[in-house]
Amino acid sequence: MRRVLEFLFLSVIVVTTSSCNIDEVITTSLPPKIILDAPSGIYSVKQGREITIAPTFESATDAEYSWTMNGEVLSTSPSLSFMQTEVGEYFILIRVSTTAGVDEEEIRIDVLALETPTISIAGNKCQTVAVGTTIDFVAAIRDTELTTTITWSLNGESVCSDLAYTFTANIVGDYTITATAENEDGKSSDSVQVTVLRPEDIPFEWSFNRSDYHTVVGRKLLIEPAAVSTAKGVSYAWYEDSNEDTISTDAYLKYIPTTEGTHTLKATATYDADGSLTTLERTFTVEVYAEGAFYRPKSGASKADWNKVYEYTPAPGQFINELKTGGFDGTETTPEAAIAYAEARMSETKDDGTPNPIWVSLGGFGGYIVVGFDHSIDNSGDYDLGIIGNSFSGSSEPGIVWVMQDENGDGLPNDTWYELSGSETGKEETIQNYAVTYYRPTGPQMPVQWTDNQGNSGEVDYLKQFHRQDYYYPLWIEEDSYTLTGTCLKARNHDASGNGSYWVNAEYEWGYADNFSAADRLTDSDNANADANANHFKISNAIDFECEPINLPYIDFVKVQVGVNAKSGWLGELSTEVLGFYDYNMKR
């Protein structure tokens, strides 16, 4: 009973202190309450933009307000206007107080990055063409969640609103072609300068990348220009040593030396320049060696496996620069670091020391790797070379195999590459000397654009659902574009589902790395677990630049180069992977 009386007494005190008697009506002051307009308490705004947060306050007569972040008062008003330029999460405490009490709420403001569109135009940024020339320009835009428009302008005048624009050079002059992408977050532009001249005003070009060559007696050597004009009426002449007899009248030379030693070749191109004949002269030096002069026999210490990576130049691809599955760490910013990366991957071992190589991706078409051995690999007439890939049924990404003999004995792969023929060699759909030029994207997480020497263009898709590295373009390539040249096979990949969900990369009969061949894998295993497995190759299948057989008694270097230019939907580009190389003569 005593406790009940005490409770009643305390209740009377509470009522007396929080109530007042107005005309015999008792009123009670309630504490304030914050009602957020975002029930979750989470707001979002783009960086550099202002957001105003204005909650509803109940029982807030004569209230005091404060908005604080990290102990700093941002506002003492019922609302807050907030803006930050740094992306991140910001936590703010809202406090409202009256004589009747206090209420507090913590909110979070997510400051998001602007989705400004980034655009780039594939191709050379400065071009000179003749009147009447047509140029197809294609733009790429980084994906955003916002609706984005594109506008092409010619010398400031809008001419097109599609991703592609065709420019016809009708009038002599200088033109600036600009593509602009714009959405609510901003815009970006990329431009190309085009100079249009009369055909007779375009400078004649006949240039070579090198003037020094070497080869072996009786072996065919090709000396061809890196660039040559298609002007009419040009006459060419090639001369050997001091002989005045012409040995060729082409813009290039197929040279077969018959004696060892140093040979000097002179070439001239004569053309009509403004009514008068002008002659360009080029001189080349060719060192000719005896067959087998620098053969390196096996010794007791020789190992079957490769012993050095000399070059690693992939095309852009989804695993290039990739920090997780791809195994990069972001420091591969020089060719030497890229080589060290490839060597470390293919040299990986298990805890017990047994080999456990990891694949190295060569990216899209033309990407390549070059390795050497501690001895010369003999041509047995049978399978001589093994190259490890990770193909399995339905997943073949064929790599063209090239071999080289150390013709000048300097221990470097700076001699002549010879392709090993495969099942597609000589077919009409197989393209020799196919070249693709890749262009550095103008912003992160963009597709990589390319053009080829067949008049085509395209993109290496950026697959943001799988990879998050900023660039597929190799970090160690300093140039804003680079060209990879090789043999291109007709792609056999196809969408087996019909709706894009299941892609098959079908195999080729024989002669290619990372290819699920029934012939040269030399096993009946279906490799259902996609384990490392090898294809095997014959040095006797080596061919020259005219696809004619060439007898190489041995080789010293091997190159594998991606042999298709294709992509399989959500799987991305077809990309040869390699895990190792070995002298099969030492293993069988």
Is residue 402 located within the same domain as residue 526? yes
Chain mean pLDDT for the chain = 92
The answer to whether the beta carbons of residues 422 and 508 sit under 8 Å apart is yes
Is residue 229 located within the same domain as residue 322? no
Candidates 179, 186, 193; CA nearest to 120 is 179
Candidates 267, 151, 263; CA nearest to 214 is 263
Is residue 270 located within the same domain as residue 397? no
Q: Render pLDDT for 81-116 as a digit per residue (tens, 0 to 9).
A: 999 999 999 999 999 999 999 999 999 999 999 988
Q: Render pLDDT for 532-542 as a digit per residue (tens, 0 to 9).
A: 999 999 999 99
Is residue 264 located within the same domain as residue 407? no
Is residue 423 located within the same domain as residue 569? yes
| Alpha-helical regions (H) of 256-367 | 335-346
With respect to residue 477, please indicate whether it lies within any of the assigned structural domains: no
Candidates 189, 190, 561, 212; CA nearest to 360 is 561
Residues of the chain above pLDDT 70, percent: 95
The pLDDT value recorded for residue 28 is 67
DSSP summary character for residue 48: T
* pLDDT over threshold 60, residue 279: yes
Is residue 388 located within the same domain as residue 500? yes
> Can you tell me which residue has the tokens 């080596």?
542
Candidates 430, 412, 403, 429; CA nearest to 543 is 403
DSSP string, 129-147: EETT-EEEEEEEE---SS-
582 or 272, higher pLDDT: 582
CA distance 49 to 377: 66
Strands 399-404 and 554-562, sheet pairing: antiparallel
Is residue 314 located within the same domain as residue 425? yes
Domain boundary (165, 200, 235) is at: 200
Domain boundary (112, 133, 165) is at: 112
What is the pTM for the complete model shown? 0.84
The answer to whether the beta carbons of residues 375 and 295 sit under 8 Å apart is no
With respect to residue 22, please indicate whether it lies within any of the assigned structural domains: no
Candidates 57, 40, 54; CA nearest to 110 is 40
Task: Provide the residue type at 131 as one letter.
Answer: V
Is residue 316 located within the same domain as residue 256? no
The pLDDT value recorded for residue 317 is 97
With respect to residue 376, please indicate whether it lies within any of the assigned structural domains: yes
Strands 399-404 and 126-130, sheet pairing: unpaired
Is residue 333 located within the same domain as residue 354? yes
The two tokens of residue 476 are 């160690």
The pLDDT value recorded for residue 2 is 37
With respect to residue 25, please indicate whether it lies within any of the assigned structural domains: no
Is residue 498 located within the same domain as residue 411? yes
CA distance 481 to 437: 7
Is residue 415 located within the same domain as residue 319? yes
Candidates 307, 312, 326; CA nearest to 369 is 312
The whole domain housing 218 covers: 206-289
* pLDDT over threshold 60, residue 382: yes
Sign, CA dihedral 331-334-337-339, equals positive
CA distance 448 to 570: 16
Domain boundary (174, 200, 226) is at: 200
Confidence of residue 403 (pLDDT cuts 50, 70, 90): very high
Contacts (Cβ under 8 Å, ≥6 apart) of 58: 30, 32, 33, 35
Q: Render pLDDT for 2-26 as a digit per residue (tens, 0 to 9).
A: 333 333 333 433 334 444 444 555 5
CATH of the domain at 99: 2.60.40.10
Q: Write the burial class of residue 435 (CB in 10 Å: 0-12 exposed, 13-18 middle, 19+ buried).
A: middle
Confidence of residue 48 (pLDDT cuts 50, 70, 90): very high
Q: Write the burial class of residue 2 (CB in 10 Å: 0-12 exposed, 13-18 middle, 19+ buried).
A: exposed
Q: Render pLDDT for 280-300 as a digit per residue (tens, 0 to 9).
A: 999 999 999 999 999 999 999
